[in-house]
Chains A and B, each alone.
Chain A
């Protein structure tokens, strides 16, 4: 490895980048826009579930149950109806996700001390929202039922009954349970994965396509120097993107960094190196930019978004997919970035993730250099 040649390649690449202001601008704007839109817009928090009420009973008791739903911040009653038709229509048109049907004999059964059943109809299309809505709705009915029951028992027994067992929940790391707090750090990793893929996956394919690769090969530049020189240039752009992301996370989205910033920055650099190296590897394999682009999308956006544990937890995937996710560097980086942001843990717990990121970078670089050597020969 010769430092002078390395610097020459790096300089050439930087010139390429600077002379294409449009690409540079989109490289710097993409993370800004993506983080801004997604940070604000993406949320998995379920509240104000649009609810339609079909009350066949029309008694003070049934009104009381409806009021329980009205009082909860998780439900928003959008319509009350007197017949079944509108229920079906509202669910079909997705104006309501939940329908509460109170049967005609509801209060009579309750007052007679018998069992009474309320029907809950849920739109299950979005199973995640539906499961959470179901939990909330059943909770409201159960709580109300328990109260009706203890009231009746108190009346019969003359004294308040057993108090029962409750749970006291405390949430660590993200006490307000804001999904933004875990989406934003994860988003940084996904964005970086996309950007680095975009930046580097065309670089060698372009040289082949425009015929400048032959010229480069006829110079004394060695494959590893070529790879490292190109990588270094894009590394600078990636680093700026990373800084933009981190600054926005902390100052725009108020996601606190509880752990060590130094450790976070170092692991970001290792991650950048690895994903840029894999981008260059793709580029060297593909030869045409169109294919490099397709391969790049397939290997960066998809695993970055899906197999990294960004929002879909890896532990609930099938074994085979879990095994595949082991070679996705974003997985380790997301572990690190979420833990440093939210938990405040450091290298003492995250050393394995960090080590694997380093190994990934080294392996990718090795293969890139080898691939370029093949093409030279």
Chain B
């Protein structure tokens, strides 16, 4: 048994690594994915491009302009002078929003009346829009506060204290102090890169397993394998073990690169990560095996891989938070093994979570793995007979 197993594993390795393009496939796609994801995936809005449309032209409006320009949140990218120009900047997507100061603004501020500024936002990307809207209200609130305290001082000068000094009155102030845990700099990279690790391992092991088996069927070498004394279980092991190694290789490659290149914090235990990956591989290899049983050609295997990988990936919480999804879909994600692995990997990376916090996810993954792999092996066996 061991001899036959060794023979088939050797055959798989030779087949996988003989072709230099195939060797490259084990290194470059994961690395390129990691680099692109790491650099490109970014939901942070640091600065917003805005157009400034001042129809008031008073000292007050210029003061407000200075507040916006110096806030660090805005780049003033255009200064339209009429409605049409303004619309153009939004239509072309040249700016994320327009701040429009209407005539009378300075007068209202000077007289102590309520003054308002119009902010027009490009809502095409609602995420950016809500962040930009937050920046604008913050900046306006700050300006408002400085105007108000100036005004308050002037108004209260009427009443002086008994000794003739300026009146100082106790004014309650409420401030907030925000502390961010787990990812203090709020870098989206720290959140996404652990997700990329999951994504790469899933895709590589799932697709390679499925395609490698179907390939033998398609070019007819499966029959040749079956007339040898190899037993089905040996065949399955021989076909999947190399991909366990490939999965591990990619895991180490990708984690190493993300620590060296992206300086993502790794607070947990590497051993736990490796163990969780092994448990997770039961699922992906099982699923790959299953896909190979329902496909006759590589084209079918590829289409089927896409069809199942995409929902698993998108509904894993990788980029779209699960808690934002409709309740029904949230229940659906409970049946998504990738979700649990995603939670484990992120927990290990960012929160430094150990087995005491992550055991429910690990147990669930193990159950998924055993069931999926078991069913697939049975189906595969039946097909061989």
Enumerate chain A interface residues (CB-CB to B < 8 A).
20, 22-23, 26-27, 29-30, 33-34, 37-38, 40-46, 48, 50, 91-93, 109-132, 134-139, 141-142, 144-146, 148-149, 152-153, 156-157, 161-175, 177-179, 181-182, 194, 198, 202, 206, 209-210, 286, 288-291, 293-294, 296-298, 302-303, 306-307, 311-313, 315-318, 320-321, 324-325, 335, 338-339, 342-343, 345, 349
Contact status A41-B174, CB under 8 Å: no
A-B contact pairs, 26 of them (CB 8 A): A29-B307, A30-B306, A44-B127, A91-B181, A111-B172, A116-B174, A122-B179, A130-B186, A136-B134, A139-B134, A142-B174, A145-B173, A153-B152, A164-B148, A166-B116, A170-B119, A171-B129, A177-B126, A288-B19, A290-B215, A291-B19, A293-B298, A294-B207, A306-B37, A325-B40, A335-B93
**Which single residue of chain B is at the shortest CB-CB distance from A145?**
B174
Contact status B177-A117, CB under 8 Å: yes
Cα distance A298–B124 when bound, in Å?
28
Kindly state whether residue B357 has any CB partner on chain A within 8 Å. Answer: yes
Listed stretches B136-144, B223-231, B254-262, B372-380; interface member: B136-144
Most buried by B among A37, A38, A194, A289: A289
**Which single residue of chain B is at the shortest CB-CB distance from A159?**
B155
Return the contact of A127 from the options B32, B183, B311 (Cβ within 8 A): B183
Q: What per-residue 1/0 map shows which CB atoms of B284-318 lie under 8 Å from chain A?
A: 00000000000111111011101100110011000
Q: A23-B303, A298-B33 are in contact. Are A291 and B21 (CB under 8 A)?
A: yes
Kindly state whether residue B72 has any CB partner on chain A within 8 Å. Answer: no
**Which single residue of chain A is at the shortest CB-CB distance from B178?**
A120
Listed stretches B106-114, B242-250, B269-277; interface member: B106-114
Kindly state whether residue B344 has any CB partner on chain A within 8 Å. Answer: no
Cα distance A221–B382 when bound, in Å?
44
B215 to chain A, nearest CB (A): 6
Q: Which residues of B contact A130 (CB under 8 A)?
A: 180, 183, 186
Cα distance A198–B211 when bound, in Å?
14
Return the contact of B357 from the options A93, A128, A166, A339 (Cβ within 8 A): A93
Q: Which residues of A contact B385 (CB under 8 A)?
A: none
Contact status B129-A168, CB under 8 Å: no
CB interface residues, B 83-132, toward A, < 8 Å:
90-93, 109, 112-131
**Which single residue of chain B is at the shortest CB-CB distance from A122?**
B180
Contact status A132-B134, CB under 8 Å: yes
A69 to chain B, nearest CB (A): 12
Contact status A172-B175, CB under 8 Å: no
Cβ-closest 10 pairs across A and B = A113-B170, A145-B174, A174-B123, A124-B183, A135-B134, A163-B114, A124-B180, A171-B123, A128-B43, A26-B303
Secondary structure of the B contact surface, majority rule:
helix
Q: A302-B33, A302-B36, A317-B42 are in contact. Are A44 and B134 (CB under 8 A)?
A: no
Cα distance A48–B140 when bound, in Å?
26
Cα distance A146–B46 when bound, in Å?
27
Enumerate chain B interface residues (CB-CB to A < 8 A).
19, 21-22, 25, 29, 32-33, 36-37, 39-46, 49, 64, 90-93, 109, 112-131, 133-134, 136-138, 140-141, 143-145, 147-148, 151-152, 155-156, 159, 169-188, 190-191, 203, 207-208, 211-212, 215, 218-219, 295-300, 302-304, 306-307, 310-311, 314-315, 319-321, 323-326, 329, 346, 350-351, 353, 357
Contact status A167-B175, CB under 8 Å: no
Cα distance A60–B177 when bound, in Å?
21
**Which single residue of chain B is at the shortest CB-CB distance from A294?**
B25
Most buried by B among A127, A136, A157: A127
Contact status B115-A312, CB under 8 Å: no
Cα distance A312–B174 when bound, in Å?
36
Contact status A339-B93, CB under 8 Å: yes
Contact status A170-B118, CB under 8 Å: yes
Q: A34-B310, A162-B148, A302-B33 are in contact. Are A132 and B130 (CB under 8 A)?
A: yes
**Which single residue of chain A is at the shortest CB-CB distance from B330?**
A41
Return the contact of B32 from the options A165, A168, A298 (Cβ within 8 A): A298
Q: Which residues of A contact B124 (CB under 8 A)?
A: 173-174, 181-182, 338, 342-343
Contact status A125-B118, CB under 8 Å: no
Q: A33-B307, A127-B187 are in contact. Are A118 and B177 (CB under 8 A)?
A: yes
A60 to chain B, nearest CB (A): 15
A356 to chain B, nearest CB (A): 15
**Which single residue of chain A is at the shortest CB-CB distance from B136?**
A167
Cα distance A113–B174 when bound, in Å?
10
Contact status A138-B176, CB under 8 Å: yes
Return the contact of A45 from the options B41, B172, B208, B324 (Cβ within 8 A): B324
Contact status A116-B175, CB under 8 Å: yes
Contact status B45-A316, CB under 8 Å: yes
Q: A27-B303, A33-B307, A37-B315 are in contact. Are A162 and B134 (CB under 8 A)?
A: no
Contact status B300-A23, CB under 8 Å: yes
Q: A124-B181, A169-B136 are in contact. Are A178 and B126 (CB under 8 A)?
A: yes
Contact status B33-A313, CB under 8 Å: no
Cα distance A313–B47 when bound, in Å?
12
Contact status B42-A312, CB under 8 Å: yes
Q: Which residues of B contact A162 (CB under 8 A)?
A: 112, 147-148, 151-152, 155
Cα distance A131–B114 when bound, in Å?
29
Return the contact of A163 from the options B113, B180, B310 (Cβ within 8 A): B113
Contact status B353-A92, CB under 8 Å: yes
Q: A171-B123, A298-B29 are in contact. Are A125 and B350 (CB under 8 A)?
A: yes
Contact status A167-B117, CB under 8 Å: yes
Contact status B306-A43, CB under 8 Å: no
